[in-house]
Structure 1
C-alpha cells in the first residue's frame, strides 16, 4: 500500500518516520509534503567523473578501488556550491550527489526516490536505477543526476529535484537493515556524499578473489601494505646513504651497487641471526645458573642478602635479552 499525505503526516507526527534537513534548510512538511509523496532536495556537494586521472575502471580491481576510497579525487572532481552558484552539466554527463534531507525509515515502511515530472520534461533524471530505500534505513540517499538533453544544463544546490514515496509493509521484516554485517551503506559505517562503495559488495569481493587469487581480507591486506611500505622506506634510506657514501651516480654504477648491496645485506642478516642465536644460548646457560640460586636464596628467606638482588637483576636482564633476540629472529626486524 502506498502512503498518502495523511499517512505520511501521521508517521512523522508519531516520530516513526524522520526527514531531517540541515540548520539553514530545515525540512518543511507544509511546503514539501504532496498528496502521495514528499519533495526532496539535493545537496550542495557534487562529484564529477575525472577522466584525466583514470581512463578505465575495473570493478573487480580492489587495489584500484582502495586507492579511490583513500583519495576520491583520483576518479572524481569534487564541487561544493554556495547559495546562488550553479553547476553546468554537459549533454550525456552524470553527476553524483545525495539528498539534503537525512531519511530515517521505520521497519514497517520502505520507500523509493522518483524524479519530479517538471525536471523529467527537461531531460533531467535523478538516478540510474538505485531508487529503493530499505525498511530501517538511516542516512542520505545517493543521486545520479544525468543530462539527457543535447544542450548543457545549469544545476543549482538545494533544488527539489526528487520526490520520495512510501510503501507500507503488512508484516515486520525479520531482518534489521542497520544490523546486517554486509550492509554496504549502513549509516553507522560510512558517509559517502553520494559516491559508490561497489567494492564492498560481497559478490565483487568473491569475483575478485576467484579471478586474482586473492587470499586476504581487506583489513589484513591493509596491514601488510603498511608493513611493506614502512620496510621500503627504511630500505630506500639505507640505499641512498650507501650511494652517497660511495659517490655512485652513473646508471651502470647503480646496477652493480644494488647487486653488491643485496649480497651484503643477505650476509649481514645471516651474521646478525648467528650472533643472536649465540646470545640466546649464552643467556639460556646463565639463566640455568641464576634461577636455581635465586630459588635457594628465596627458600632460605634471605631476601636482604645482596646476592638476592644480584640474581634478580641478572634474571630480569637475561629475560630482556631473550625477548629482544626472539623478536628479531621470528619477526625479522
Structure 2
C-alpha cells in the first residue's frame, strides 16, 4: 500500500503558494516576508536570506501585477540601444545583455530592451516605456559628457545607472572600467620594451572615457620619465577608417612614433592598415596596444595586444546597482569601478630602432 504525500495545511496540493504560506512556514508576519522579498533596508540580511530560501523551497513567486499595484513597480529594468552608434551591433552586446538579464533574474526582475536611432527618438522611447509601465529605471551605456539621457531621467526623477563615470552628473550611480589605468599600464609596458617615442590615439570626444584615457596616457608617460609630444596625439578615432587616418598622420610626422597606444581596438586595427600602407610590420617596426578585447583583435596578423573587458560581469553589476537604486539607495553610494585585463600578444615587441 503506497504512502500518501502530506498536503500543506489549509490549501490544496496543487494550489499556488501564497505569501501567507511562506509567512506561516517561517512564523513571520506577511509584512515582514513582503519587505524581505523586496529587500527593504529595515530587514536584516539574515532574515532576507531566510525568507528567500523558504520561498525557493516552497516555489513561491509573487504575482507581477499584484507587485506592481502594491509597490508601484514593474520589477523591470530598461535598456534603450541607439543603433546609430558606431558599434551598436558589436559582438560584445550579446555578453552585455546576458549579464544584464542574469543580474535582473537573480532578483526576480526582468529586462526590457528597446531601440532608437537618434537622441530625439531615444528620449521619446524613454517616455513611452515609462508611460506604459515597462521599466522602473534604466541602464545607460556609454556615459557622454553632454548626456541628454541623464538630463531627461534626472528631471523626471527616474532611477538610472551609468556604464561609465560622469564628472558633473550629481546624483548619478555608475559602474565603470578604469580605462585610464589601462592606458597608463600600456605606456609602462612599451617603455619597458625600450620605446621612447610613443603616440596616442583617443576615442570619441563625446564620451566621458576620452579625457580619462588621455589623462592616463599622460600619467604613464610622466611615470616613465618620457616627454609627451603633442604632435603624436590624435583623437576621435572609433572606427577602422578613423584609426587608419589617425595612424597615417602619426606615421608621416618628421619623427614618427615607434609605438602607439589606442583608446579603442578598432582604431588600433586601423593603425595596422596605415602601417601596411607604409611597408611597416606591426610587432617588428611598430608596436601597437588597443583596448576593448574585441574578437577581431585576436585574429589580426599579428594578434593585437590589448586590454579586455568582462562585459557580462559589467552587465550583472549594472543590473544589481540599478535594482538597489530603484529600491531607494543613495545613488552616490552606488559607484563601483574595476580594472581591465592586459592580454599581451604579437603586436608589441622590443624597440628595434627608428622607423
TM-score of the two chains, using structure 1 as the length reference: 0.26
TM-score of the two chains, using structure 2 as the length reference: 0.25
- Rg: which structure is higher? 1
